[in-house]
Amino acid sequence: MKQVSLILIATSVFVLNAFGQTKKVTELEDNSGEITEFQIDQNNQYIALGNKIGILSVFDFASKAENYKVRPHRDKINFIRFYPDANQILTFSDSEIVFSNASDGSQISKITIFEKIKYVDLNSSTKQLYILASRGEVDPVQKIYKIELDTRKFDVFQSNAGNVEAFKSSADGKYIYIGKNEEIWIKNIGLDIIEKKLKDHDARIESMDLNPSKPDWMTTTDRYTIRFWKISSAKSYLLKWKVVPTPEDFDKIYGAWVLNENNKILIHGEEGVKIRDVSNPHDEISLISSTGLKIEKVAMSPDKATILLQARDNGVEVWSNGAPQVATASTQTRAASQSAVTTIDSSDDIYRKYKTEIDKEMNLRAELFRPRGEFERTADYEERKVQAETYKEGIFDYYRDLANREAEVAKELEQARRKILAEKEKRDSERRAALFRDKIKGSYSEYYTRISELGTYDADKEEFPITIDGMTYNVKVPFDKARAFKENSPFFKVVGNSQLLDDAVTSEKFNYKIVTDRKEVYEFGKQKKALFVADEADRLLNGLIKTAPAPATPVASAPANRPKPSQAKSGMSEMDSRIVDYFSTKTYHALLIGVNEYRDQSITQLDGPINDANRLKNILTTNYTFEEENITFLQNPTRTEIIETFDDLQSKIDEDDNLFIFYAGHGVWDEDLKQGFWLPSDAKRTSKAAWLSNAMIRDYIGGIHTKHTLLVADACFSGGIFKTRDVFIENMASLELAKLPSRKAITSGAMKTVPDKSVFIEYLAKRLEENERSLLPAEILFSSFKIAVMNNSHGQVPQFGDIKGAGDEGGDFIFLKR
């Protein structure tokens, strides 16, 4: 990618010299995943990037700084559209539409459709959303649906939309232009009829573009050619079209956009991006050198003054093609109640608006504008020209003032209308809420959740990006507390509220609060009062904050050969004390297996497994209640030795004991058998006779009757030991939980090859050494090092879950500190 960056810099200089105004401004990055969609809103406030794993990143248009990052979808974001009237951003996956607040990314509502969304068009002036969708193989017939943005009313707009790939509605919302095969269908939206079908392409139309500031221009493209259209403003059909020669070095065309300059269009082809003058095909400029550079995707701001180019998976370049008007508090249009009045200064605009009246008044003094007569002196002619100009200026000044007075009145009327609508919406909301009071009140709930991902701290803004319930938020954390916050975040509790909105249909999550181990509270996300539950609200939060340390209680007597945990119990809660007492009477066993050397020389020899196992052994005996005599350490064992050890453990372990199993060595996944294997030291590459299958390991773990068994596997394809799923238990400090049998596994990867030098074991051992908790559940241990492994390895994602079919009943393995 270094080579690509150099090409971009050199090209931007060239374009600046040639065009005088088009240049690369900056590059936006999203390191959380491959970018799949990007757009700019109509008011030039936001730039939004969507990626392959459903994360939406929104940047400030003026400063290019990231405003926020959220995850509205679990899978790829295919389309992004802005609805400025309501300050909303819409994101589309294959079958979901999520409406979010454009300012902070908080989710407003979601629509799920049981069809695959293929294309979308949003018309702000009519507040309509058009969606092209089909049921795929079940029902391949495509339809265009229309959704009213304010009411979410959903109707079929065009039933026979087969072979449609692109469509655009006109700026005034009266017509929609549909590219169907090689034809353009012009549909009158109000009358719901196809007025005309034009066939001027030789191949299927794949893209089209309209410029709101030049409503009589349109471009359409098929894979190989471009058409530039002049649309009649008085009729519903296209008056004329012109074939635009394809750039000679372009084999394929992906799209074309109408620019603000006369006859200028932007062309995106397989080999790059060009700006071309339609009236002079030889007048073209390359924005990006086509040498070795693939432009994957292009988008333009609605005002056509900013160009977004994607040249790599996680980066989007911002190019300026003019001077876009950045929206401010005083210039945002209908998104703000105090919008500025649109003044009309251009004589062309005045003449278009009052053409009939102006022509009539000019004709009243037509003698002033006649050509110079044969018998007219120069001085007389010059004086007449001055009179004509003065008369003309007076007419235009009068109508300019009239136009602006009309605009003032229109503004006042619009403000009055919006005030009435706001009052009506408030009354309707109160009426709906009262009507569904019992249902809304009964839907209120408080729940525990946890931080599923903690991002990099922004020391300047004093913020942490955190992911909760699939959404990403920014949490303000003072600089002097940030380091401790990050280190202890796996142990924090998060409380959230959920309730139906006043429509009694849409559910909303709000009032997120993080409660630290020091009872500090950090608020984030949307904060508001729950409806109708003032007395019952925040019980979970108040319970966490007000929980006082319990007085010291005697530790239950333990056998003489088993030391008590040394940590003072006076700082524990009563529940933690009871759990410590419970586990103090239990025996902890460990089976540690490390395989460095293989007899088959065609199998790669390893350096780390035995050292890693020995390091764990020292940690378990020094820091936790594992005794030396209860630890079995197998170094380079054969398959038979491993099985005999499992047999021995099965005969000597009691049902109330706990077993920790660690394996480090080679692992293999057999795609045909859909089975993973450990490779003991006598394994052969060409024979499975000495391999140890995950199924056999699972059966032995199920057959060794312990209270809790935890398997930790640091091997290639160790994720095959279970059907991976995240296990998050809301209240870890539960004696009932401690008593429930568990069969859990922590593995160094899912179905991926892992390195010999183990990042996984490094952070696992580090967290066990640094832990200061008396009770450390396996799930808390896992969440404390998972992100560290992901950030410091090449694509390695540790896994945690229960071992299927081995007798897990929902408990968890808990390490008891000495």
Is the four-CA dihedral 678, 683, 686, 692 of positive or negative sign?
Answer: negative
Q: What is the mean pLDDT of residues 774-802?
A: 83
Q: Rounded to whole angstroms, how far apart are CA atoms 783 and 732?
A: 13
Interstrand relation of 297-300 and 280-286 (parallel, antiparallel or unpaired): unpaired
- What is the per-residue pLDDT for 11? 31
The 3-state DSSP class for residue 394 equals helix
CB-based contacts of 512: which residues, under 8 Å, 6+ apart?
A: 468, 473, 494, 495, 496, 523, 524, 525
* Per-residue confidence band for 93, with pLDDT thresholds at 50, 70 and 90: very high
Q: Is the pLDDT of residue 87 over 70?
A: yes
Across the chain, mean pLDDT equals 78
Taking the C-alpha atoms of residue 56 and residue 70, their distance in angstroms, rounded to an integer, is 5
Quick one: average pLDDT of 125-135? Answer: 90
In the beta sheet, which residues pair with residue 68? 58
pLDDT tens digits for 681-727? 999 988 888 999 888 888 888 889 888 999 998 876 555 565 433 33
Q: Which has the minimum average pLDDT: 332-346, 568-582, 587-601, 802-816?
A: 332-346
Beta pairing partners, 678: 667, 692
Question: Looking at residue 592, what is its pLDDT?
Answer: 95
Give the whole-angstrom CA distance, residue 715 versus residue 726: 20
pLDDT grade for 139, boundaries at 50, 70 and 90: low
Q: Which string of DSSP letters, residue by residue, matches 410-445?
A: HHHHHHHHHHHHHHHHHHHHHHHHHHTHHHHHHH-E
d(CA 82, CA 116): 21
C-alpha 258/C-alpha 278 separation (Å) is 10
Give CA–CA dist 513/541, Å, rounded: 8
Q: Tell me which of 110 and 233 has the higher pLDDT.
A: 110
- The region of weakest confidence among 38-47, 130-139, 228-237, 702-711 is 228-237
Length of the chain: 818
412 vs 161, more confident: 412
Kindly list the distances between the CA atom of residue 583 and the CA atoms of 566, 656, 772, 816, in Å, as whole numbers in the listed order.
14, 9, 17, 7
Q: Given a cut of 60, is residue 482 above it in pLDDT?
A: yes
CA distances (Å), origin 197, targets 208, 346, 748? 16, 37, 60
Cα-Cα-Cα-Cα dihedral sign, residues 297, 300, 301, 302:
negative
**H/E stretch holding 494:** strand 493-500
Q: Is the pLDDT of residue 565 over 60?
A: no
- Say if CB 638 and CB 655 are below 8 A apart: no
Residue 776: its H or E element: strand 775-777
- pLDDT of 593 strictly over 50: yes
How confident is the model at residue 410, as a pLDDT? 84
Among residues of the chain, what percentage have pLDDT more than 70?
78
Checking if the pLDDT of 429 tops 60, the result is yes
